[in-house]
Amino acid sequence: MKKDIPQHKVTDIGIAIVPYDETFWEVYLINQKDSPLRNLLVSSRGYGERNGQPVSTTSLRYFFEHIDAQSAVKIEPIQNELFELANEYWISFQLDGYLYDKKYVFVNGSIHEDYMVQLPILETRGVLIR
């Protein structure tokens, strides 16, 4: 039965987007857990509308065999021109014998200096979703 399947929520993991230069920002996964993550898969894509036409970017996938506790890893660079789209990062990983997954979506207009916060572990400012 569905009620017998344990429901584990992803906590203490975030996706941050940090300015790099005038054209590019960088996307990071931040692991604030006290345990390392194993076999982390990240799928990224962008989608939305531009000039009234549907637009989508290529789906990219990244694999990290091990991510230390209380650390961050760079996933990919992202261009400013993609901020008018929704940018989705879907993660899946193993922790304590369970498989977890979570989708993080930066909606159109959310990657902006107005929404920047001080980021844990990276010790810089950026846009964060937990």
Residue 1's pLDDT band (cuts 50, 70, 90)? low
Under 8 Å between Cβ of 85 and 55: yes
Query: Which residues have CB under 8 Å from 53's CB, separation 6+?
Result: none
The closest of 84, 85, 88 to 75, measured between CA atoms, is: 88
The residues spanned by each domain of the chain are 2-125
Which amino acid makes up residue 61?
Answer: R
Length of the chain (residues): 130
Q: What is the DSSP string of 40-96?
A: EEEEEEEEEEETTEEEEPPPEEEEEEEE-TTEEEEEEEEEGGGGGSEEEEEEEEEET
What pLDDT digit, counting tens, does each position of 48-103 carry? 999 999 999 999 999 999 999 999 999 999 999 999 999 999 999 999 889 999 99
The reported pLDDT for the residue numbered 8 is 83
The domain 2-125 is placed in CATH, from the list 2.60.40.10, 3.40.50.720, 3.40.50.150, 2.140.10.30, at 2.60.40.10
- Tell me if the pTM is above 0.85: yes
